[in-house]
């Protein structure tokens, strides 16, 4: 962890002005925290990886978790709205699954308090994976011979194949999806040459502009390693008729859709900035297609700042330094259902 004072010294040596912000800059941990009731094991991770990639968990047999959260890329699908069963398009852009273990809450509106709760939702969402119930999912899993052995290795008990165990396994796999050792992380750990001159200016501008007020912590998501209640921000925070006409940000009521509390209208979870260069389009509705535009819009709508092209370019350069090292992913062999198939919708 690099204290701010050390960063100031390094920036001064690079010819930059000092940063007058009282906060710490933290590297991403190499391991994600797991809950006491779902300790990570290799067997659980392997089962979760198989379930994560199995489209038979959807009513049509065409959509898996990986369909919208592609771990072979940036952890989402680079669409404004994800495509679910029967070619239905959702109203929000998929958040990345990479480093999701460091979020205090899940989904744009924070309606899931854990990865386990998040994993349970999309399977029975009529627009996403479309299963009528998790009971139906369990019946399907029990019919596939290979799953009995995978569940038995991951969990104890006579009836290991259950909805709770399935989502625990998926969450355990997702906790392995972390991307440490970005250029920024190396710099935060003391490598003064890890960031180039423009990225150093971008870090300084990021801090001076006020971006770190919300995008704080090691995940740049307002959370301390997934602990706490989660940070939310009103978006847009400052009304702008031209931007609203172009992007329609305010059509989505955000967390209000979950709580029905007037104070929660247009509140959204602070998203991670980790690997953000790979996760366009941006914002909850996926209407902004470039990172430059996203930075410009955030400064204007959240901080009341009109950034110069150089400032935008510098911040974007710094955000590119948040792209981490991705652990190797190998597609799993899915258990077979010999000689037959399901009655997919």
- DSSP per position, 126-171: TTTT--S-HHHHHHHHHHSHHHHHHHHHH--STT---HHHHHHHHH
Q: Is 140 exposed, middle or buried (0-12, 13-18, 19+ CB in 10 A)?
A: middle
pLDDT in tens, 23-39: 467 999 999 989 999 99
Q: What is the DSSP letter of 221?
A: S
Q: In 3D, which of 95, 173, 86 has the Cα closest to residue 131?
A: 86
Q: What is the DSSP letter of 330?
A: -
Asked if the domains at 4-30+179-320 and 42-174 fall in one CATH topology, the answer is yes
pLDDT in tens, 177-201: 999 999 999 999 999 999 999 999 9
Model's pTM, two decimal places?
Answer: 0.91
Is the previous residue joined to 281 through a cis bond, with omega within 30 degrees of 0?
yes
Q: How far apart are CA 329 and CA 64, in angstroms?
A: 16
Q: What is the pLDDT of residue 4?
A: 35
Tell me what the mean pLDDT of segment 147-151 comes to: 98
pLDDT in tens, 229-284: 568 999 999 999 999 999 999 999 999 999 999 999 999 999 999 999 999 999 99
Q: In this structure, what token pair is assigned to residue 263?
A: 């104070």
Q: In 3D, which of 127, 105, 125 has the Cα closest to residue 114?
A: 105
Q: What is the pLDDT of residue 24?
A: 65
Q: Where are the domains of the chain?
A: 4-30+179-320, 42-174
% residues pLDDT > 70 (the chain): 91
% residues pLDDT > 90 (the chain): 88
Q: Name, in order, each residue with C-beta under 8 angstroms of 46's C-beta and a sequence gap of 6 or more.
A: 150, 153, 154, 173, 332
Q: What is the pLDDT of residue 175?
A: 98
CATH architecture of 4-30+179-320: Orthogonal Bundle (1.10)
pLDDT above 90 for 15: no
Q: In this structure, what token pair is assigned to residue 199?
A: 């990225």
Q: What is the DSSP letter of 106?
A: B
Q: How far apart are CA 241 and CA 119, in angstroms?
A: 37
Q: What is the pLDDT of residue 277?
A: 98
Q: In 3D, which of 54, 58, 37 has the Cα closest to residue 115?
A: 37
Across 229-338, the runs of DSSP E, i.e. the strands, are 232-234, 267-269
pLDDT above 50 for 12: no
Q: Which of 76, 116, 128, 174 is catalytic?
A: 128
Tell me what the mean pLDDT of segment 94-116 comes to: 95
Instruction: Let me know if 244 is a catalytic residue.
Output: no
pLDDT above 60 for 14: no
Domain 42-174 has CATH 3.90.220.20: no
Contact call for residues 101 and 116 (beta carbons, < 8 A)? no
pLDDT in tens, 197-228: 999 999 999 999 999 999 999 999 987 655 55
> Average per-residue pLDDT in the chain?
91
Helix (H, G, I), strand (E, B) or coil at 282: strand
**How many residues are recorded in the chain?**
345
């Amino acid at each position: 962890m690099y204290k701010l004072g050390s960063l100031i010294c390094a920036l001064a040596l690079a010819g930059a002005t000092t940063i007058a912000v009282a906060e710490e800059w933290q590297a991403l941990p190499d391991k994600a925290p797991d809950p006491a009731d779902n300790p990570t094991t290799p067997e659980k991770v392997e089962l979760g990886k198989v379930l994560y990639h199995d489209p038979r968990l959807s009513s049509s047999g065409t959509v898996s978790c990986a369909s919208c959260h592609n771990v072979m890329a940036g952890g989402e699908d680079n669409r404004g709205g994800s495509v679910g069963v029967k070619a239905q398009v959702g109203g929000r852009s998929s958040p990345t699954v990479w480093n999701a273990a460091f979020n205090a809450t899940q989904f744009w509106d924070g309606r899931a308090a854990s990865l386990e709760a998040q994993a349970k939702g999309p399977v029975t969402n009529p627009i996403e994976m479309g299963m009528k119930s998790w009971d139906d999912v369990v019946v399907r899993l029990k019919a596939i011979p290979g799953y009995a052995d995978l569940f038995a290795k991951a969990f104890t008990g006579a009836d290991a194949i259950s909805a709770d165990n399935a989502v625990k396994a998926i969450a355990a796999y997702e906790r392995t999806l972390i991307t440490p050792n970005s250029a920024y992380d190396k710099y935060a750990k003391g490598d003064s040459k890890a960031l180039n001159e423009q990225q150093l200016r971008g870090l300084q501008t990021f801090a001076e502009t006020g971006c770190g007020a919300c995008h704080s912590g090691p995940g740049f998501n307002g959370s301390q390693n997934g602990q706490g209640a989660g940070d939310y921000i009103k978006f847009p925070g400052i009304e702008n008729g031209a931007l609203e006409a172009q992007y329609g940000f305010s059509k989505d009521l955000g967390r209000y859709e979950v709580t029905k509390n007037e104070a929660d209208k247009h509140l959204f979870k602070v998203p991670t900035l980790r690997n953000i260069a790979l996760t366009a389009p941006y914002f909850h509705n996926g209407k902004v297609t470039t990172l430059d535009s996203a930075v410009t819009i955030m400064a204007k709508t959240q901080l009341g700042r009109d950034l110069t092209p150089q400032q935008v370019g510098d911040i974007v350069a710094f955000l590119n330094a948040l792209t981490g090292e991705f652990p190797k992913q190998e597609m799993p062999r899915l258990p077979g259902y010999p000689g037959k198939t399901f009655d997919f919708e």
